[in-house]
């Protein structure tokens, strides 16, 4: 009588089926991970743009509200704004916001006559010889990044500000209205 040994193991069909199911689970988990990572990155970029816009709007609107005089004609849409600073009544100086290379710049300027550069004058001042005032930049710095566009438009002291920001295929448009108190 011959004894038939029973062998332990898997058939080829069982191995192929098991590997196929394992591969399917790995692909599903990998796809879910990639989707979660993309969603997280998009949310992070959206939050960064929103925070950037909020900080810039806060500073810009605070300075515009206290402006002594608006120099830029905002009756037509413009991409930069220039106004007399209202923070320090002892010194005449001006602030300009403009966009360069997707960055929002704030430039603080003063005007003077070469005969006495320590005394700041109004930007439209002319000396006794008919020479206009010279300008000096007191400071210039970036206050925001990822700006694709900025527009100022308004009348009667009310300025509409519309900004567009863009980072890694995430676009954001925010607008606000600011009333100049001293207008």
Please spell the DSSP secondary structure of 107-140, one letter per residue: EEEEEEETTEEEEEE-TT-B-TTSPBPEEEEEEE
% of the chain exceeding 70 in pLDDT: 96
pLDDT number for residue 89: 77
pLDDT, residue 1, reads 55
Phi, psi of 30 (to 5 degrees): -60, -45
83 by Cβ neighbours in 10 Å (0-12 / 13-18 / 19+) ranks as buried
pLDDT single digits (tens) 141-162: 999 999 999 999 998 889 999 9
Cβ-Cβ contacts under 8 Å for 87 (sequence gap 6 or more):
63, 66
pTM here is 0.80
61-107 residue pLDDT tens: 999 999 999 999 999 999 999 999 988 878 899 999 999 999 999 99
Whole-number Cα distances in Å, 70 to 76, 127, 174: 14, 22, 22
- What's the pLDDT score for residue 4? 61
Parse the chain into domains and list their residue ranges: 42-179
Mean pLDDT, to the nearest integer, of 173-180? 93
Tokens 């009333």, located at residue: 179
Q: Cβ distance 176 to 61 under 8 Å?
A: yes
> If 0-12 CB within 10 Å is exposed, 13-18 middle and 19+ buried, where does residue 164 land?
middle
What is the average pLDDT score of the chain?
A: 92
């Amino acid at each position: 009588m011959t004894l038939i040994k029973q062998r332990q193991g898997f058939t080829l069909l069982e191995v192929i089926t098991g590997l196929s199911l394992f591969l399917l689970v790995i692909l599903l988990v990998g796809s879910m991970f990639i989707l979660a990572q993309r969603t997280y990155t998009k949310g992070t970029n959206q939050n960064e743009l929103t925070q950037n816009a909020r900080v810039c709007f806060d500073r810009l609107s605070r300075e515009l509200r206290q402006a002594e005089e608006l120099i830029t004609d905002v009756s037509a849409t413009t991409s930069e704004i220039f106004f007399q600073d209202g923070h320090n009544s002892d010194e005449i100086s001006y602030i300009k916001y403009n966009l360069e290379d997707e960055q929002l710049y704030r430039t603080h300027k003063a005007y003077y006559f070469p005969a006495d550069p320590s005394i700041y004058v109004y930007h439209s001042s002319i000396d006794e010889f008919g020479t206009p005032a010279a300008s000096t930049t007191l400071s210039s710095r970036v206050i925001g990044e990822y700006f694709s566009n900025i527009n100022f438009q308004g009348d009667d002291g009310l300025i509409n500000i519309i900004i567009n920001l863009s980072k890694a295929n995430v676009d954001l448009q925010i607008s606000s209205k600011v009333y100049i108190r001293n207008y």
